[in-house]
């Protein structure tokens, strides 16, 4: 404690309990200040109220993507309208390994259906490609100049098992495919508006009347709402490596790794790897590290299937086809040739197809 000074110990002067009365001029000034203070408080409170309301109601809105979700063709991808796509990949087992890739997409419109057919054929040295668009009365696959027949037969039990046969004509060459039994055993998308299955089989490709044993991959896509399908018509930062690969022991490998720089609500960066053994058991993993060179398309790849598969595919791409050379993005389909290395160090030769997209 600080001791009081002598001045503080002297007797205080008497003070009045009543303050001095202000002058009339002082009263006017005080009233004016009170009035201005009231106005200031009212105005400030009004704006502060609005500021608090705005703050309490504000949320961080998602940034709209610059990537269109519909294409610019005359066909419309309409909400609540059906969209179906069938694709058959057939790779002849014997050298020089001819390849047929046939896709038929059907899109429901307001009054009818739009069908687009795309055929790619590799004769062992050269790719041939053709397309056809048409309007149809139903979502069933319709014949045209490229498709003379495409038949899907469902097992009488109506439980998964199907088969598909077709006759294709491209540049005056007659082709036919027979998938044998398909089991729809590989689901890769399972959503109310977008379901997709792969089936692996062993069938035949008939070229000018001659039958060749072939590896088969059949893809079926069903959508009850085509607005759930992502379409792109401009570069937006996508890199996809899609692989279908068979080793000589009869095992099948599928990889889809896609990096999306401008993700949308319905299309995101993803990885999936499928291993189907020669005993038809299926294992799905969601991490498949890839290494590739920097060429377009890459020539040398390594795909590492993590646990529980524990196998590595090393391959080289050959005979690449530029599917859309008129577009500003890269889209190539290539033959793939290489080997699978098991966890025990065994090397198994294999062949396949690799699709590379950089958009």
What is the DSSP secondary-structure string of 180-236? Answer: --B---EEEEEETTEEEEEEEEEEEEEETTEEEEEEEEEEEEEES-GGGS----S--
pLDDT above 90: residue 128: yes
What is the DSSP secondary-structure string of 288-346? Answer: --EEE-SSSS-SEEEEEE-TTT-EEEEEEEEEEEES-TTSSSEEEEEEEEEEEE-TTS-
The span from the CA of 178 to the CA of 166, in Å, is 7
Residues 299-327 have a mean pLDDT of: 95
pLDDT (tens digit, 9 = 90+) per residue, 8-22?
333 333 333 334 455
Confidence of residue 246 (pLDDT cuts 50, 70, 90): very high
Percent composition of the chain: helix, strand, coil (DSSP 3-state, to 5)? 10, 50, 40
Residues 68-97 have a mean pLDDT of: 77
pLDDT above 50: residue 278: yes
pLDDT of residue 282: 97
Q: Is the pLDDT higher at 189 or at 304?
A: 304
| Longest alpha-carbon distance in the chain | 131
pTM, two decimal places? 0.77
Which pair of tokens denotes residue 186?
């590989």
Question: What DSSP designation does 130 have?
Answer: E
Name the one residue in this structure whose structure tokens are 């699978």. Answer: 340
Structural contact between residues 305 and 312, judged by C-beta atoms closer than 8 angstroms: yes
* 119-123, 203-207, 268-272: least confident range: 268-272
What is the DSSP secondary-structure string of 153-184? Answer: EE-TT-SS-EEEEEEEEETTEEEEEE---B--
Structural contact between residues 224 and 194, judged by C-beta atoms closer than 8 angstroms: no
Q: Is the pLDDT higher at 312 or at 79?
A: 312
The closest of 236, 238, 244, 242 to 218, measured between CA atoms, is 244
CA–CA distances in Å: residue 119 to residues 46, 90, 140, 285, 314: 69, 12, 18, 31, 28
CA–CA distances in Å: residue 93 to residues 203, 246, 344: 10, 10, 26
The span from the CA of 81 to the CA of 226, in Å, is 6
Structural contact between residues 107 and 75, judged by C-beta atoms closer than 8 angstroms: yes
The closest of 123, 116, 82 to 102, measured between CA atoms, is 116
pLDDT of residue 194: 84
pLDDT above 70: residue 76: no
Which pair of tokens denotes residue 277?
């053994």
Grouping H, G, I as helix, E, B as strand and the rest as coil, residue 54 is helix
pLDDT-above-70 percentage for the chain: 76
**Mean pLDDT for the chain overall:** 82
H-only helix segments in 58-184 = none
Structural contact between residues 162 and 220, judged by C-beta atoms closer than 8 angstroms: no
Q: Which run of H or E residues covers position 257? A: strand 252-260
* 204-218, 315-329, 334-348: least confident range: 315-329
Q: Which residues pair with 341 in a beta bridge?
A: 312, 347
Q: How many CB atoms lie within 10 A of CB 51?
A: 10
């Amino acid at each position: 404690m600080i001791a009081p000074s002598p001045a503080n110990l002297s007797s205080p002067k008497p003070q009045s309990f009543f303050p001095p009365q202000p002058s009339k001029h002082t009263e006017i000034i005080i009233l004016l200040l009170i009035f201005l203070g009231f106005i200031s408080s009212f105005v400030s409170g009004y704006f502060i109220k609005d500021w608090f309301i705005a703050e309490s109601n504000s949320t961080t809105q998602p940034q709209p993507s610059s990537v269109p979700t519909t294409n610019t063709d005359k066909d419309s991808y309409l909400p609540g309208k059906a969209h179906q796509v069938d694709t058959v990949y057939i790779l002849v087992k014997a050298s020089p390994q001819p390849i047929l890739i046939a896709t038929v997409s059907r899109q429901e419109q307001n009054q009818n259906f739009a069908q687009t057919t795309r055929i790619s054929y590799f004769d062992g040295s050269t790719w041939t490609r053709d397309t056809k668009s048409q309007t149809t009365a139903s979502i069933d696959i319709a014949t045209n100049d490229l498709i003379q027949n495409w038949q899907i037969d469902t097992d009488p039990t109506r439980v998964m098992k199907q088969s598909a046969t077709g006759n294709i004509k491209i540049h005056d060459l007659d082709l036919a495919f027979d998938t044998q039994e398909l089991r729809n055993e590989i689901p890769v998308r399972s959503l109310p508006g977008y379901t997709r299955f792969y089936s692996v089989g062993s069938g035949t490709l008939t070229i000018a009347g001659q039958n060749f044993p072939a590896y088969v991959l059949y893809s079926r896509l069903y959508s009850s709402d085509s607005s759930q399908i992502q379409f792109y018509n401009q570069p937006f930062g996508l890199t996809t490596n899609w692989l279908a690969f068979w080793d000589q022991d009869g095992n099948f490998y599928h990889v889809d790794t896609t990096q999306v720089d401008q993700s949308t609500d319905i299309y995101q960066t993803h990885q999936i790897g499928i291993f189907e053994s020669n005993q038809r058991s299926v294992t799905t993993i969601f991490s498949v590290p890839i290494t590739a060179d920097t060429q377009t398309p890459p020539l040398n790849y390594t795909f590492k299937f993590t646990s529980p598969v524990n196998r590595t595919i090393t391959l080289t791409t050959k005979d690449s086809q530029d599917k859309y050379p008129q577009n500003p993005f890269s889209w190539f389909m290539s033959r793939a040739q290489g080997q699978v290395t098991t966890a025990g160090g065994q090397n198994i030769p294999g062949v396949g197809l690799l699709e590379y997209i950089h958009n």
